[in-house]
Each structure stands twice: as structure tokens, then as C-alpha cells.
């Protein structure tokens, strides 16, 4: 792989240990993918923030890197949700030793120069660069959204490769950074015999597509103008299973086509949703957008949750919801906001001490089952509110 003189010096350690490691990571990925060079990026989005997922090894690694000479993020860098509400963790049954380690992880990222985003939907709160801009985003749902909806260029980065990109300001010129690799290679034709609509439908479709396809997938028979929330649900579920990094909506000829029928829908649904009801309600995987909070605030106005209800969103979105009166209406219903945290990779779900939860998220259902061992009732937001409030 071609390296500039400056990149060669960095690989040999002349610019410090942090840059040496970061360039070596990119070089290894570049060689594996037969990339010709590295390219500059405008935005890195790093994952690997929750102590629940990276543990002591990740914490020590980040703290070590943050103390190295020249260890600074060289491009605008946002971070995924962490494993607790940073402000209110002590009111939410988070163990103190866990919180301390989580705060040390955040401190290491802050030393490196993050924007304190703590969100898996960074496109909702920050100005998105012009179409075609190269970025390096970890968090599969965000990377798929970047490629498919925002027309940015990113591969599905890992926590380590996105960190290397943040430190160097570069990424490997491969796969979805190259225009010819962004064409669909397989199509899925949706035919449920009814109108295809709402985040739950899009989530189920994404899960089906993730299981059945690799490479760029084209969807047929779905509206081309989806809401942010529907697109977000599709991207999240698509990234949960399988390796696809991008989709299109269209009708290209000459593509192998898989049908997505009512029977396929029901099979996926039954596979994910293994409970009729949940003992608690969880909203916000990916974290909730301002539009979702608006709709939830309207749905719960004048009602009270009969069960514990937790709503995950970023601090930025919470503050916006507060300024518009949505947060107050939701809190008045008894729901509790958990800010800046991941809905699935937090000890909070286990500490609820429930055997089942209700959620509207396919991705959330997948991870709450596998990480916390709870059963899941998967429903749309309207049904959840109707069944769980009085």
C-alpha cells in the first residue's frame, strides 16, 4: 500500500507511539483489503465507550493511548453512547465501581478530544458534511445510515479502526469508499400484501436482509421517502446481523432478487418476539430522535405508565425535547429518561430485575435477549403506550 513520507515516518514511530499504533492498524487493514492508499476524512465516529463492552482491558488501553505524545484526535470525532447516564447514574442503580470505571473511559476520550456526543445517531445533532464526503464511522447502524441516507462514504468500522482514523485523520481507501463498490449486487422485493409502514416494519425487513444478503442490497416495494425513524430502524436491524454496509431503494434490472413475503415477516417477528407482554418498557435503540420524542409525548399525554418505562436519548436531544415541552410530557407519564447511554449495553437493564421487556426496536430486542437474557415483546409504539398506560 502506498504511504506518503510522513505516513512512513509515523509508522516507524517518529511521531510518537499513539500515531505509530494507529497507522499500523490502518496499514494492516489496508493490506488485508488490497487498498492502494489512505485518504483523509472529515469526521470519525468511535464506538467502544461502554465499560460493559470494553471492560478493564479497553479502559487500560484508552488511558494508555491518551497519555502518549501527540495523542490527539485530528478530525471532528463523535462517540457512541456509554454504559450509563453520566449525570444521573447514582439515581439509577448503577454500581459505584462500574460508574467510576465508566467515567475513566470518558475522561480518556475527552483527553483525546471528543465532541461529547454519546450518541449512536450523530447525524441528528451535528451538521452533516456534503454528499460524497469520506468519514470513518463505527457503530454499524450509523455507518449504514451514513452510506445509504446521507450519501457519505464510510466502511463499517470497528472500535479500533475508527479510533485509528480519529488519531490520524485518515482511513483506508477500500470497499464503500470506492464508487464502483457502492452499486447493489442483490435485491429484496417487499410484498406483504398490505401497506409497508412504520419503524417496526422497517426493522423486521432490515433483520431479514441482514441475514440473507452480503454487500450492497437494493430494496424494492418500499417507499423511497421514509421518515428518519423508519430509516434508522432499517439501518439498525440491518447492521445487527450480517455484514452489509449500505442499501439503496430502487428498481435496477439484472439483480438476483429475494422475495420478502408475509410469511418471512412473521417468521422473523416470531423469532425475535418471544413474549406477549413485558414487565418493563424500553424505548431508544438506536437512541430516540426529536421526532420520536415528539410523537411519544403526544401519545402519553394525560396517561401514566403502569410499568417502569425507560427512554434512551442523548443529552443534546433531551435538552431540545425539554425546550419544546416534550420531555416534561413524557416524564409526567412516569417514564424515566436515561441520557447518553446505550439501551442494551448498560447494567441498568439487568438491574431492573425483570424477566421480560417490551420494546419497539428489533435491534434492541436482539441485544436485550442475548446480553441480558430477558424475553422480549416486540410492538409498535402506539400499541406499547396503549397496553402499558392507564
Closer CB to ligand F3S, 81 or 245, in the complex: 81
Choose which of 136, 155, 287, 315 interacts with ligand F3S (CB under 6 A): 287
E strand or H helix that includes residue 136:
strand 136-137
Choose which of 117, 141, 155, 389 interacts with ligand F3S (CB under 6 A): 141
Closer CB to ligand F3S, 139 or 264, in the complex: 139
Could you tell me which stretch among 6-14, 53-61, 85-93, 282-290 binds ligand F3S (CB under 6 A)? 282-290
Closer CB to ligand F3S, 47 or 174, in the complex: 47
Interface positions, 70-89, toward ligand F3S (CB under 6 A): 80-81
Q: Are 41 and 165 in contact (CB under 8 A)?
A: yes
| For the chain, the helix, strand and coil percentages under 3-state DSSP, each to the nearest 5 | 45, 15, 40
Could you tell me which stretch among 87-95, 192-200, 254-262, 338-346 binds ligand F3S (CB under 6 A)? 338-346
The total of other beta-carbon atoms located within 10 Å of residue 8's CB is 11
Could you tell me which stretch among 83-91, 210-218, 264-272, 343-351 binds ligand F3S (CB under 6 A)? 343-351
Peptide bond before 57: cis, by omega within 30 degrees of 0?
Answer: no
Closer CB to ligand F3S, 50 or 213, in the complex: 50
- Quick one: residue 76, left, alpha or beta (phi over 0 = left, psi -120 to 50 = alpha)? beta
Q: Does 286 bind ligand F3S (CB under 6 A)?
A: yes
CB of 49 to ligand F3S, least distance (A): 9
CB of 287 to ligand F3S, least distance (A): 6
Which residues lie closer than 8 Å to 251 by C-beta, 6 or more apart? 220
CB of 292 to ligand F3S, least distance (A): 13
How far, in Å, CA of 264 to CA of 242, rounded? 17
DSSP line for 339-362:
ESB-SSSSHHHHHT--SEEEES-H
DSSP line for 320-337:
HHHHTTHHHHHHHTT-EE
Q: What is the SS3 assignment for 170? A: strand
Closer CB to ligand F3S, 30 or 364, in the complex: 364
Helix axes 17-32, 159-168, angle to 10 degrees: 120
Choose which of 196, 202, 208, 367 interacts with ligand F3S (CB under 6 A): 367
The cell 479497553 sits on which residue? 58
Binding mask 164-183 for ligand F3S (x = CB under 6 A): --------------------
CB of 363 to ligand F3S, least distance (A): 5
Which residues lie closer than 8 Å to 4 by C-beta, 6 or more apart? none
Which residues lie closer than 8 Å to 124 by C-beta, 6 or more apart? 228, 289, 290, 314, 317
Backbone phi and psi for residue 21, each to the nearest 5 degrees, phi listed first: -60, -45
Closer CB to ligand F3S, 53 or 174, in the complex: 53
Q: Does 342 bind ligand F3S (CB under 6 A)?
A: yes
Q: Does 124 bind ligand F3S (CB under 6 A)?
A: no
CB of 150 to ligand F3S, least distance (A): 17
Could you tell me which stretch among 69-77, 159-167, 265-273, 362-370 binds ligand F3S (CB under 6 A)? 362-370
Q: Please return the burial class of 6, using the count of CB atoms within 10 Å of its CB with bins 0-12, 13-18 and 19+.
A: exposed
Choose which of 45, 101, 153, 363 interacts with ligand F3S (CB under 6 A): 363
Backbone phi and psi for residue 324, each to the nearest 5 degrees, phi listed first: -100, 0
How far, in Å, CA of 140 to CA of 142, rounded? 5
Choose which of 22, 108, 120, 164 interacts with ligand F3S (CB under 6 A): 120
Q: Does 236 bind ligand F3S (CB under 6 A)?
A: yes
CB of 367 to ligand F3S, least distance (A): 5
Sign of the dihedral defined by the CA atoms of residues 113, 118, 122, 126, in that order: negative
Closer CB to ligand F3S, 81 or 210, in the complex: 81
Q: Does 46 bind ligand F3S (CB under 6 A)?
A: no
Instruction: Tell me which residues touch ligand F3S (CB under 6 A).
Output: 80-81, 120, 139, 141, 236, 285-287, 342-345, 363-364, 367
Amino acid at each position: 500500500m502506498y504511504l506518503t513520507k510522513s505516513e512512513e515516518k509515523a509508522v516507524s514511530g517518529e511521531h510518537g507511539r499513539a500515531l505509530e499504533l494507529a497507522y499500523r492498524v490502518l496499514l494492516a487493514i489496508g493490506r488485508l483489503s488490497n487498498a492502494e492508499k489512505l485518504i483523509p476524512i472529515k469526521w470519525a465516529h468511535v464506538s467502544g465507550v461502554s465499560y460493559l463492552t470494553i471492560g478493564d482491558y479497553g479502559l487500560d488501553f484508552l488511558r494508555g493511548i491518551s497519555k502518549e505524545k501527540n495523542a490527539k484526535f485530528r478530525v471532528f470525532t463523535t462517540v457512541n453512547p456509554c454504559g450509563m447516564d453520566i449525570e444521573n447514574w447514582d439515581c439509577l442503580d448503577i454500581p459505584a465501581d462500574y460508574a467510576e470505571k465508566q467515567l475513566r473511559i470518558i475522561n480518556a476520550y475527552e483527553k483525546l478530544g471528543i465532541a461529547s456526543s454519546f450518541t449512536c445517531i450523530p447525524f441528528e445533532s451535528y451538521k452533516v458534511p456534503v454528499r460524497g464526503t469520506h468519514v470513518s464511522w463505527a457503530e454499524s447502524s450509523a455507518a449504514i445510515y451514513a452510506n445509504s441516507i446521507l450519501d457519505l462514504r464510510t466502511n463499517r468500522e470497528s472500535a479500533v479502526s475508527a479510533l485509528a482514523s480519529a488519531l490520524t485523520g485518515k482511513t483506508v481507501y477500500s470497499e464503500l469508499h470506492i464508487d464502483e463498490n457502492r452499486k447493489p449486487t442483490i435485491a429484496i422485493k417487499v410484498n406483504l400484501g398490505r401497506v409497508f409502514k412504520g419503524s417496526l416494519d422497517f426493522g423486521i425487513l432490515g433483520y431479514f436482509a441482514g441475514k440473507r444478503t452480503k454487500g450492497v442490497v437494493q430494496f424494492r416495494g418500499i417507499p423511497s421517502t421514509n421518515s428518519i425513524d423508519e430509516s434508522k430502524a432499517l439501518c439498525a436491524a440491518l447492521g445487527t446481523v450480517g455484514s452489509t454496509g449500505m442499501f439503496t431503494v430502487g428498481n435496477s434490472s439484472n439483480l438476483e432478487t429475494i422475495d420478502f413475503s408475509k410469511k418471512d415477516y412473521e417468521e422473523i417477528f416470531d423469532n425475535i418476539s418471544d413474549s406477549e407482554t413485558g414487565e418493563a418498557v424500553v424505548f431508544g435503540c438506536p437512541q430516540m430522535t426529536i421526532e420520536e420524542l415528539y410523537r411519544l409525548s403526544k401519545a402519553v399525554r394525560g396517561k401514566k405508565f403502569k410499568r417502569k418505562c425507560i427512554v434512551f436519548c442523548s443529552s443534546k436531544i433531551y435538552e431540545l425535547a425539554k425546550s419544546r415541552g416534550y420531555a416534561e410530557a413524557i416524564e409526567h407519564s412516569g417514564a424515566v429518561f436515561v441520557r447518553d447511554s446505550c439501551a442494551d449495553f448498560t447494567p441498568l437493564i439487568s438491574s431492573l430485575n425483570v424477566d421480560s421487556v417490551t420494546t419497539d426496536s428489533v435491534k434492541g430486542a436482539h441485544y436485550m435477549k442475548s446480553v441480558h437474557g430477558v424475553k422480549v415483546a416486540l410492538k409498535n409504539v402506539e400499541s406499547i403506550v396503549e397496553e402499558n398506560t392507564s
